[in-house]
A and B are shown apart, each in its own frame.
Chain A
């Protein structure tokens, strides 16, 4: 028997309502004045924006028939050329994470908590431990497993006891037909006909240092995200920024007359 909830019906409106075609007057303000993309570009039905309209109509179209925001359908932003600028764009603002950043949209660091885009923590990748814990500004991946090549081919005799990941994927129709232009980047399954090479069973190599977020080796000791403390600089070499004398850091400076706010 066909699923009664498959198509649009009053029954589905009660049991599992779909709201993607409901547009509210309030949304226009949010989209246009506040400049918030309430819909992703590929969530909006482009045909419905044309003069002819969407042939499916709002009832059957899986995409949203809505007015796009001013921010929708914008060309991708130019990435900054300078590598440091680029790095800043990938670094989450640590003040913002605590709700303390005052720069708002003007902040040059990332105001986005997206663990997918966060670089992996160098400490965590190297030692499996980071003293900053949950406060760390870099991602701590829980576990590192490779996908089981046998399962991806079709069957793994180890079943649930397999130490490798079994990710169920829909087979890529393009690949089955002959050629998928996405190649290995395709998220759908590309079952290989031949036996996987022994290399495919090896645990994944640790991510290259370049992919890891700072602190790098050369930055050890300068604070960073708070990994295990690096070799401390000899206090004799330290120059106080406040009084200019050697032998202590500025936060331990005893020269009280240097406090500018006391004037």
Chain B
């Protein structure tokens, strides 16, 4: 005890302990469903929802109302846990607890069919959500008005939260928000009343009240939403007496719902951020006859997410005139968010076809290349007739060029025998030339340069630097005095300028410094005084990074920590050299400066610059991300690009593994490969009208790129969301027609029939509904424009398990084979009958396009064959011109005869429930839900399936596939718990009985 209290003084929380609910609190607490802490008590108080006697829907005759609620307090000193309230006899389908406000105490219990308020004196107030509660429970039900009797809501998967003392918001599994009011009678809750739907948001996984008037609805299958709740008192407009007298009546639900859905459409990107209050929903509940408090919900922000991926397939996309692979994933769930998400695998989709020039100028920029005519620089301009001409050709290799003197001239650094720094007129004629010579002897060649109006930094191959400054009054440049930087022999590896517009870079004025030199103030500085400051970043060979102020050239910051970037593997000192350093603003809405350091060892580090407290100079540290990449030649540029509404700014790294460095508001700094194998030069260019173009010279020659619209960069792969009205369970790409076949997953009402075709049961009241079951449709989707060209509807009790594009034998083509779409389904027949299945073979046929649709080629799905099976067809694949499909616990190999029927040629009894089949050549890998992985060979002539090996241990495999590298073969499997296993086929292992196929069990 003494020890515990002394411990509790050290740490701000009590020591952990384990509370065995059944032995320490109450023996009836078993099978806990949910628990919550209640506020307003002296001791911590817990409410536990549990089911002592378990039951299910089929046993309600024996056991019902099995759920109990226990409220007990935790006395941490005496370890005594007295039960304050024990309520039993709650419906068997209760699933969550929400504590109510301390004003009247109690908890709200959500059940699948009812909302129940339980107060501390065990009084239960029930609000039925549909007609089921009186049938499944003995709880006393309130009498319902005729309108309430029409209500038919399914509360499974719903979440609830209090927005004020008496208003509970229930978010249903489809995202619809219903307000429920606790009607008080004194300090007691007399009844609950539910109003019409308020709004529709995302599918909830968690709903929390943040601060007082914000609501966060987190989702695991879609975007998460932050909403603002506002309480507005409004005069009530009396439309209907009944509505007023019955405040919880369901008012005009249909119309409002439609409006809400449109207002809160989460995929309208523009509305998410820009409508803070206009889409408030004014459907509240009446508090009294004249005034009512209305809860306004408005969308504040959302975190974009695509939820779980149910299937994905590689598809072909066009990028300019080059075909690139694209990954199409079916994500999301429910009615709200079915969206194939094409993810750019290579990220190489930002380009546009090349132009024949490799040096151009859109008023300011020159670039050049040593290839194909080495040592020649060209200046290209766009003339008023909008064609591009090369106006000037200069012998010499350009190191760098930039606009100068506020864009009125061009500064050009090049090597033509000696180092030359030139100022050019906009048309390319020479205004001034400075030869970089020391006396009469030429200096070493310039390795790199950095130009930032009005400064020029050159770094020569002997690591010495030169600094020039432009005088705008004369329009010329001159050497800048570098005496403040120490003796001339200073060596620097690299350096760059940085123009800070964010205000992060601020120095503390040191009063001891010598007097202000007027002569060094520049026009640039004068023009942008206050919000813009220029800095020079230099790196010494020892790895010391220094930041110098401009134009005064005083040392503002210095660190040697960057050289110790990764101390782990010992490296040669030269490898720790910093190859290049750049400070660039990265970000989406408010770019912040980031220090990007590239080491000779191939490491790239990005530091975000943050402001620190005054005594210290800006410290670039906090956020860093490193990755191991290799570059040979590096040249980096900061760029600003226009991206529909938002502005991205980032950096591009050229070299062997070129990549974009970008930062988004919600995703942090990302390094995305550009998809080229090598990029020699890169620049932003507005020569071709559009504002956000980039010009780059890669191994494929020069190309002009533009930013793809609607690309989300928040995740590790750049993705584009294609909103669809339904969720898809499977996607497959048909390579021969470049179309996507997707199976959408829907809910349909399930009715079972007896042998004579009569309905066995049908709903007998308006608020009683049929059970739901899964059903599917097949859609033929064109990847350009994402239009659905054709569809196929399965039976209402049939859903798709698997789709594959399989190559089967046919007589209709020259090669004798053709790609067909094979679909395996499950036919659900209720609880009493075993499920069946079917295999469908579809052919994608081209038909004459409708002239009005403006689409050149039109396709349809043609059902060639339907083959019913005795068990569910849970997996299928193509193998060597045959179709391999599962039927329950059997595997069939079937041939497609005369384009009209499937003829079995081989079968094999495997496990219990086949979850996946995959084939490479004649080797087949079968994954089973119980019997793990089987490895099977298929022989034609005579037909035979031979078990080569199988996993002796049981595990529930969800997917198994072949995996090969270096001519060796292994089998990779993934099980229910997310464990991946790699198997080798090793017949020489002594335990494998000399490679003999194991006996089938």
Residues of A within 8 A of B (CB): 4-5, 11, 14-16, 19-20, 22-27, 29-30, 33-34, 36-41, 64, 99, 111-116, 134, 142, 165, 167-170, 187-189
Contacts and interface: CB of A to CB of B under 8 A. Distances in A.
B107 to A, nearest CB: 54
Given A19-B920, A114-B906, A168 B325 contact: no
A82 B968 CA distance: 47
Given A33-B995, A38-B922, A26 B944 contact: no
Of the listed residues A15, A25, A40, A41, the one surrounded by the most CB atoms of chain B closer than 10 A to its CB is: A15
Nearest to A30: B937
Contacts of A4: 316, 323
Given A15-B315, A99-B1000, 10 more contacts: A11-B316, A14-B314, A16-B735, A23-B967, A36-B946, A37-B940, A38-B922, A38-B938, A168-B812, A168-B899
Contacts of B901: 142
Contacts of B942: 112, 114
Contact of B939 (A33, A38, A188, A189): A38
B369 to A, nearest CB: 26
Contact of A168 (B733, B811, B870): B811
B987 A33 contact: yes
Contacts of A29: 987-988, 995
Given A15-B325, A39-B922, A116 B941 contact: no
Closest 3 pairs (CB-CB, A-B): A4-B323, A168-B812, A24-B969
Given A112-B906, A115-B903, A168-B899, A20 B921 contact: yes
B968 A25 contact: yes
Contacts of A37: 939-941
A27 B985 CA distance: 10
B903 A14 contact: no
B316 to A, nearest CB: 6
B909 interface: yes
Contacts of B898: 165, 167
Nearest to A62: B815
Of the listed residues A41, A113, A165, the one surrounded by the most CB atoms of chain B closer than 10 A to its CB is: A113
Nearest to A16: B735
Contact of A22 (B813, B921, B997): B921
Contacts of B813: 170
B735 A15 contact: yes
Interface in B722-756: 733, 735
B352 to A, nearest CB: 17
B562 interface: no
A16 B323 CA distance: 14
A24 B967 contact: yes
Contacts of A187: 811
A224 B901 CA distance: 28
Contact of A38 (B810, B905, B921): B921
A163 B938 CA distance: 37
Contacts of A165: 898, 900
Contacts of B921: 19-20, 22, 38-39, 64
A170 B905 contact: no
Of the listed residues B315, B907, B922, B1000, the one surrounded by the most CB atoms of chain A closer than 10 A to its CB is: B922
B667 to A, nearest CB: 26
A22 B811 contact: no
A49 B587 CA distance: 60
Nearest to A142: B901
Contacts of A113: 904-907, 943
B325 A14 contact: yes
23 contacts: A5-B316, A14-B314, A15-B316, A22-B921, A23-B967, A24-B969, A25-B967, A25-B969, A27-B923, A27-B969, A29-B995, A34-B937, A36-B946, A38-B937, A38-B939, A112-B942, A114-B943, A116-B897, A165-B898, A167-B811, A170-B813, A170-B814, A188-B811
Contacts of B906: 112-114
A64 B922 CA distance: 12
Contacts of B903: 115-116
Contacts of B314: 14-15
Contacts of B761: none
Contacts, number: 115
Interface in B975-1001: 985, 987-988, 995, 997, 1000
B895 interface: yes
Interface in B289-339: 314-316, 323-325
A116 B1000 CA distance: 26
A252 to B, nearest CB: 34
B905 A114 contact: yes
Contacts of B985: 26
Of the listed residues B323, B814, B968, the one surrounded by the most CB atoms of chain A closer than 10 A to its CB is: B323
Contacts of B87: none
Contacts of A134: 870
B941 to A, nearest CB: 6
Contacts of A112: 906, 942-944
A142 B811 CA distance: 20
Contacts of B897: 116
Nearest to A145: B900
Interface string B932-957: 00000111111110101000000000
A28 to B, nearest CB: 10
A146 to B, nearest CB: 12
Contacts of B899: 167-168
B968 A24 contact: yes
Contacts of A38: 921-923, 937-939
B17 interface: no
Contacts of B13: none
A5 B735 contact: yes
Interface string B471-494: 000000000000000000000000
A86 to B, nearest CB: 15
B267 to A, nearest CB: 28
Nearest to A188: B811
Contacts of B900: 165, 167
A90 B148 CA distance: 71
Contacts of B325: 11, 14-15
B964 interface: yes
A12 B664 CA distance: 33
A188 B812 CA distance: 9
Contacts of A36: 937, 939, 944, 946
A115 B905 contact: yes
A114 B733 contact: no
Interface string B239-271: 000000000000000000000000000000000
B937 to A, nearest CB: 5
Interface string B13-42: 000000000000000000000000000000
Given A36-B937, A116-B903, A26 B969 contact: yes
A9 B818 CA distance: 20
B995 A34 contact: yes
Given A25-B969, A37-B940, A15 B733 contact: yes
B811 A114 contact: no
Given A34-B995, A115-B904, A22 B920 contact: yes
Interface in B375-416: none
Contact of A99 (B323, B909, B938): B909
Nearest to A40: B940
A170 B909 contact: no
Contacts of B948: 30, 34
Contacts of B904: 113-115
Contacts of B997: 34
Of the listed residues A4, A111, A187, the one surrounded by the most CB atoms of chain B closer than 10 A to its CB is: A4
A189 B898 CA distance: 12
Contact of B811 (A24, A41, A169): A169
Contacts of A15: 314-316, 325, 733, 735
Contacts of A14: 314, 325, 345
Nearest to A14: B325
B600 to A, nearest CB: 31
A99 B1000 CA distance: 9
